[in-house]
């Protein structure tokens, strides 16, 4: 009778434990059936840095399904090069606790960047920075979150406060760049190679001189920034690695 009671209690405990585990929040990097049908492929498995290479500072880690940088410098690049694509990802910034723009939590998404040189300008960078609710006079407009760094300010402030998840949908086909931040179009450049447009660039070389294909990257700049649900849909593949 005692053996039956112990076994019975063990079964109850196992069932309760299984229930807790199965109902716990999951950070698994899973694509929806719709995303898979559309041709998206996950770039981050939620387990480790497989598919990525750390450049310069080595402060990237994975915890509870989240890709984390502590902002110590350098960048994380994809192992493969891309040309034309649709990229989507979530990011969350830690609070800045700073009074000057140079201390704000800061990161970025690199597009078509190369191994050598500054990835923000060998390819291009879509800015990530903790400027929600801050005055526009606080920083240069092409530094604001959602901007094409050094070239195009965001059309609006669509950034959520630090500690909340934001979502980027980025489409880059030829010279056409479209960036959505939390569902709102913040950058739309019909032709990055238009001479008139290139005359307006504030920082970096003209886009006519930048790579037409390269690596996807995530910047490590200032303070902790988290990433998840990184996926890409290739429209035209890179011609060489």
- Tell me, yes or no, whether 13 lies in a domain: no
Q: Which domain holds residue 156?
A: 27-237
- Tell me, yes or no, whether 220 lies in a domain: yes
How many domains are contained in the chain?
1
What residues have CB less than 8 Å from 3, skipping those under 6 apart? none
- Kindly report, residue by residue over 93-135, the tens digit of the pLDDT: 999 976 678 889 999 999 999 999 999 999 999 999 998 887 7
- Kindly report, residue by residue over 10-68, the tens digit of the pLDDT: 444 444 444 433 333 345 578 999 999 999 999 999 999 999 999 987 899 999 999 99
Maximum CA extent, the chain: 88
CATH label of the domain that carries residue 89:
2.60.120.560
For 14-20, which contacts have Cβ atoms below 8 Å and span 24 or more sequence positions?
none
- Tell me, yes or no, whether 136 lies in a domain: yes
Q: Give yes or no for a contact between 112 and 213, defined as CB atoms under 8 angstroms apart.
A: yes
pTM: 0.87
- Tell me, yes or no, whether 178 lies in a domain: yes
d(CA 72, CA 14): 43
């Amino acid at each position: 009778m005692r053996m039956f009671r112990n076994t019975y209690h063990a079964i109850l405990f196992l069932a309760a434990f299984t229930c807790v585990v199965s109902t716990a929040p999951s950070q698994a990097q899973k694509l929806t059936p719709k995303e898979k049908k559309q041709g998206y492929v996950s770039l981050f498995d939620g387990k480790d840095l497989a598919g990525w290479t750390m450049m310069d500072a080595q402060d990237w880690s994975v915890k509870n399904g989240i890709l984390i940088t502590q902002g110590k410098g350098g960048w994380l690049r994809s192992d493969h090069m891309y040309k034309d694509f649709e990229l989507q990802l979530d990011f969350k910034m830690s609070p800045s606790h700073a009074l000057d723009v140079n201390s704000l939590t800061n990161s970025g998404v690199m597009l078509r960047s190369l191994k050598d040189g500054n990835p923000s300008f060998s390819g291009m960078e879509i800015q990530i920075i903790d400027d929600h609710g801050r005055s526009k006079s606080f920083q240069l407009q092409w530094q604001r979150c959602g901007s094409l760094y050094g070239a195009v300010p965001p059309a609006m402030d669509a950034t959520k406060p630090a500690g909340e998840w934001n979502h980027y949908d980025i489409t880059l086909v030829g010279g056409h760049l479209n960036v959505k931040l939390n569902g709102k179009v913040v950058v739309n450049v019909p032709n990055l190679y238009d001479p008139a447009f290139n005359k307006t660039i504030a920082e970096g070389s003209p886009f006519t001189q930048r790579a037409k294909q390269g690596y996807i990257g995530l910047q490590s700049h200032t303070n902790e920034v988290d990433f998840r649900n990184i996926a890409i849909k290739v429209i035209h593949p890179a011609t060489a690695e």
